[in-house]
Amino acid sequence: MSEPTALDARGTSARARPGDLARQVVVVVAAVVAVLGSAIGSGAFGGTPIAEAGGGALSAEATLVAPDGPAFSIWTLVYLGLVAYAVWQALPGQRTDPRQRRTGWLAAASLVLNAVWILVAQAGYVAGSAVVIVGLLGVLVVLFGRLVASRPAGRVEGVLVDGTFGLYAGWVSAATIANVAAALKDAGVTEGGLGAQTWGVVVVAVAAAAGTYVASVSQGSFGYGGALAWGLGWIAVGRASGPDASATVLLAAGLASGIVVAATLFARSGRRGS
């Protein structure tokens, strides 16, 4: 007797595999681990908040490309999306869906790496946290690329999967900039004679270029573009006052944020016109 098959979200017959249920369970467990990690990182259990760890190396004033404090409130929206995604992908109807098979294990890996980053950063290992967040970004880039390569089955999947991981990847892109810059500064790496402000301009320009490219290949992902523009915008706000004020970086980051928004909207307008 052949194994039972089920209709996936796209209405096609898909044969169940031994690893399908395991994938769904692992994603749920990984989501729980990530949420617990976020609570630990906030200092809810008595630990040192991330902004205060490592002698303040990861604080909003650590470098000229660190987003201002309120920017990190986006994590609340990211975590809500990830929890909703974890519940949705655990439904029987998603068990054999080809799209979830291609992305589920990567999603679980990203959630675990998220928690690992928090623990490493909270322990004060600034260089180690940079290594972990670069790895996290790499996983999210591959995952997001796989989502872009195919279309969601409906609006719910588009929001819970594509929207959530676009937002996640966009924000981690911005956070990686700040984290790597903080690690280099903590290690005593200089700006190569260019100066901190020039390097800040170069970094946000690269971020704007990356955001423009992602907008073109994703046909204007609101999640990715919105989160990256949010991060760049808060870099600009952070340079408006205080000991790390810089009109040069403020203008560059503000312009970069606007470029990402414009590129995203332009790409979406092209999609509607096609």
Please write the tens of the pLDDT for every residue from 51-80: 887 788 888 888 999 999 999 999 999 999
Q: Is residue 100 part of a domain?
A: yes
Give the residue-averaged pLDDT of 240-251: 93
Helices (H), the chain: 18-41, 74-89, 98-122, 126-148, 155-157, 164-186, 196-217, 222-238, 247-273
Question: Percent of the chain having pLDDT more than 70?
Answer: 91
> Which helix (H) or strand (E) covers residue 6, if one does?
strand 5-7
How many domains, in total, are found in the chain?
1
**Residue 10 belongs to some domain of the structure:** no
Residues with Cβ within 8 Å of 103's Cβ and at least 6 positions away in sequence, in order, are: 143, 146, 147, 161, 165
Residue 179 lies in a domain: yes
Q: Is residue 90 part of a domain?
A: yes
Q: Which residues of 48-67 are buried (b: 16+ CB within 10 A; e: fewer)?
A: eebbebbeebbbbebbbbbb
User: Is residue 113 a part of any domain in this protein?
Assistant: yes
Q: What is the mean pLDDT of residues 93-116?
A: 96
Q: Does residue 7 fall inside a structural domain?
A: no
Reported confidence tier of residue 223, pLDDT bands at 50, 70, 90: very high
**Per-residue pLDDT at 11 exceeds 70:** no
Mean pLDDT of all residues in 78-89: 97
Instruction: Provide the domain limits for residue 184.
Output: 16-269
Give dist(CA 196, CA 65) in Å, integer.
10
Name the nearest CA neighbour of 177 among 117, 90, 226, 235. 235
The C-alpha R_g of the chain, in whole angstroms, comes to 20
pTM of the prediction? 0.91
Query: Is 11 a member of any domain?
Result: no
User: Are residues 47 and 125 in contact, defined by beta-carbon separation less than 8 angstroms?
Assistant: no
Query: Is residue 235 in some structural domain?
Result: yes
Overall average pLDDT of the 32-47 stretch: 82
pLDDT of residue 235 exceeding 90, the answer is yes
Position 3 scores a pLDDT of 42
- State mean pLDDT over 117-146: 95
The angle formed by the CA atoms of residues 197, 201 and 202, to the nearest 5 degrees, is 115
In this prediction, residues 14-37 reach a mean pLDDT of 92
CA 23 → CA 58, 163, 179, distances in Å?
Answer: 33, 21, 30
Taking only the tens place, the pLDDT of each residue in 154-200 is 999 999 999 999 999 999 999 999 999 999 988 887 666 678 899 99
Distances from the Cα of 183 to the Cα of 4, 25, 210, 273, angstroms: 52, 35, 21, 44
